Amino acid sequence: MKQFIKNIKKFKWHYIMILCGIACLIFFSYIPMTGLQIAFRNFKPGNTVWNAKWVGLKNFWFLQDLEFWRIVKNTFVLTGARFLISFPAPIVLALLINEVKNTYFKRIVQSITYIPHFISWIVIAYILDSFLSPYGGIINQLIEKFGGTSVFFMGSNSWFVPIVTISSVWKDVGWGTIIYLAAITSIDPELYEAAMLDGAGRWAKMKHITFPSIRPTIVLLLILSMPNLINAGIDSIYPLMNNANLEVSTVLDTYVLINGLQLGKYSLATAIGMISSIVSLLLILLTNKIANKVSGEGLW
Amino acid sequence: MVKETIVKKSRKGSSNTGEHIFTMLNTVFLILLCMITIYPLFYIIVYSLNEGLDSMKGGLYLWPREFTLFNYQYVFGNGVIKHSYLVTIGRTILGTLTGLIITGVTAYGFSLKSLPYRKGLMMIALIPMLFNGGIIPYYIQLSRLHLVDSFWVYIIPCMFSVWNMFVMMKFFMGLPEEMRESAHIDGAGEVRIFVQIIIPLSKPVIAAIGLFIAVWHWNDWYSGSFYVSNANLLPLQTYLQRLFNANSLSMLTQNSQIVAEAAAHESQTATMTITSVKMAAVVIGTLPILCVYPFIQKYFVKGMLIGSVKG
């Protein structure tokens, strides 16, 4: 105890500084965690999270609701498709950019492909709307030119997932290459020279040197991207939702938001949110464990 | 022997043509990718500079056909948009400053490796990255703190980001230890060391993180949409989000006086469509970022790289 007080005194400024950040976390992360108990209470406006009536597992009735499982399916279809395309895309692009010899061209490609990362999802929704509009949108004009009939993309159930996937790739493929390109440039050039002497071509070098060297980075980003499998992201989904595509565009995130903040079913929404938080945590822990087992490249 | 060299040569020859084809295809692909990246942004600018009714006819690809600035005049003449612009500018400046201060100060506290209990405190900082209470308990907390429907909801909850703190901490840890120590010997306190020695040395990371925070604030529509209902407090992106589903010009302004004014200018309004006005609003909301982007790009990349070093 004496030691404790001595330590605190000696480093008091460091602790005070750290406390600035920790205080923010307490107010905006930890106290909300205690709010999870309203998943087991009947929370009404005017209650605090501590004095609402306990109702046990009553709020979890949604687990027997077919509607809920349809939304779970929507979520995984969307995040799965998006993951399958937008996770490998930056890796491939980084490998391709790395093959460019002309540094000038390389830099231009990088600068341009980073731009969409800074465009908000709202603006992307506008761009999509103007491109895909059945009234004079570019895509439909091209379709009509080639003899097709125009499609109302934004209001179509079958196009929702491809639209979200393509726009996610458009937005972040370039930005995602930064980390991989950094990992590639840190590879020892002697490895390539040695491989060249052994007669290795471009493909062999990529397969036996570049790819294994960036594998730890890939694993790291893989683990970190796991929560995205359950959190579809309100930021990207909500702006594209409309009455016509509601059947496929309702995912767990938007369902929680609409039920909780817009319809006022706080306890139900918290219960759903809690389940998805837990699943997201399990996904990270599980992937980390697998990564450790397979290649010892886990995060911790 | 001779045979072998021949084989080698021919193999080299064929791989050379293979290499050439690959290089060519790669270049073409990357050029195409750049065009796909740029064109949508270019297109909304063209659309916003073209007369609305004319745009509806389609066929607008590379250049405005019936050039007009009226869409912009309309947007700038609109009090609601102007106001939301001010809100966005205000929150971006204030949010970036407070974010930098809180995140930077915390990062400096954590940057002392020998600090007792550092590991435990770090755990406290890391847990929220893995698990959180979700949006509803968060909202309840905001309303308990009277942040809902207040300008401060844009600033206070976003002052600290664990991720940014990590990046800054790593940078501080990379600074030479001796400087801190010699300042200590000279009798400088921690706060003075931080302000007078560390901050001037950390300009690159401060620029990078500051820009990340600023772009985040500029683009955030979410807080405005769900935590604020007072129309006077809506930031630009939230305003654009509301506008997205609007299908008449009166919804655009939310203000009957402006609608009346617009009706008075019937002649001009006739050639204007909701889509082209929307596009002008979007361009105004995006252009600041696109304009400063070329100058600040290197800082962003630097920030990403500091953060990506594992450890």
How far away is chain B from the Cα of A112, in angstroms, using its nearest Cα? 6
Report ipTM (2 d.p.): 0.89
* CB < 8 Å to A256, chain B: 134-136
Chain A residues whose CB is inside 8 A of the B165 CB are: 21
B43 and B96, same domain (yes or no): no
Predicted local distance difference test score (pLDDT) of residue B2: 45
Please list the ranges in chain B whose pLDDT falls under 50.
Answer: 1-13, 255-259, 266-267, 310-311
One domain, residues B249 and B123:
yes
Residue B53 lies in a domain: no
> Contacts for B191-194 with beta carbons within 8 Å, 24 or more apart?
B191/A13, B194/A17, B194/B105, B194/B108
- Domain containing B35 equals 2-48
Question: Which domains, ranges and CATH numbers included, belong to chain A?
Answer: 1-56 (no CATH), 58-295 (1.10.3720.10)
Residue A42 pLDDT exceeds 80: yes
Tell me whether residue B32 is in a domain.
Answer: yes
Report whether pLDDT(A295) > 90. no
pLDDT digit string, tens, across residues B282-311: 898 888 888 888 877 778 777 777 766 543
pLDDT per position as a tens digit, A186-225: 888 898 889 888 888 888 888 889 999 899 889 988 988 8
Global pTM value: 0.88
Q: What was the pLDDT predicted at B247? A: 61
Claim to verify: residue B44 and residue B135 sit in the same structural domain = no
Q: Are residues B106 and B220 in the same domain?
A: yes
pLDDT of residue B311: 36
Using CA coordinates, name the residue in chain A closest to B48.
A130
Please report the pLDDT score of residue B3 as a whole number: 46
Chain B residues touching residue A15 (CB < 8 angstroms): 109
Q: Is residue B257 part of a domain?
A: yes
CA dihedral A155, A160, A163, A165 (to 10 degrees): 170
Task: Please report, as a single letter, which amino acid is at residue A46.
Answer: G
Site from B34, B136, B184, B213 to mutate, A interface, most A CB atoms within 10 angstroms: B136
User: Which of A126, A168, A253, A297 best probes binding to B when mutated, by most B CB atoms within 10 angstroms?
Assistant: A126
Task: Tell me whether residue B170 is in a domain.
Answer: yes
CATH number at residue B96: 1.10.3720.10
Collect all residues of chain A within an 8 Å Cβ-Cβ radius of residue B109: 13-21
Residue B203 and residue B104 share a domain: yes
Alpha-carbon distance of B133 to B142, in angstroms, equals 13
Residues B25 and B156 occupy one common structural domain: no
Q: What percent of chain A has pLDDT over 90?
A: 43
Identify whether B172 is part of a domain.
Answer: yes
pLDDT bucket at A46, cuts 50 / 70 / 90: confident
Q: How far is B40 from chain A (nearest CA, A)?
A: 7
Contact A280, A75 (CB under 8 A): no
* SS3 of residue A45 by DSSP: strand
- Provide mean pLDDT across the span A107-130: 91
Same domain, B6 and B96: no
- Cβ of B106 within 8 Å of Cβ of A17? The answer is yes
Closest chain B C-alpha to A249 CA, distance in angstroms: 16
User: What is the tens place of the pLDDT at every residue in A132-166?
Assistant: 887 778 888 888 888 888 888 888 888 999 999 99
Would B128 be classed as within a structural domain?
yes
Nearest to A113 among B8, B37, B279 (CB): B37
Residue B154 shares a structural domain with residue B221: yes
Same domain, B124 and B173: yes
Q: How far apart are CA A287 and CA A208, in angstroms?
A: 25
Q: Band of the pLDDT at A252, cuts 50, 70, 90?
A: very high
Whether B10 and B88 map to the same domain: the answer is no
pLDDT for B1 = 43
Return the residue in A1, A42, A130, A185 with the most chain B beta carbons within 10 A, the one to mutate for interface testing. A130
Q: How many domains does chain B have?
A: 2
Instruction: Establish if B191 belongs to a structural domain.
Output: yes
Could you tell me if residue B215 is inside a domain?
yes
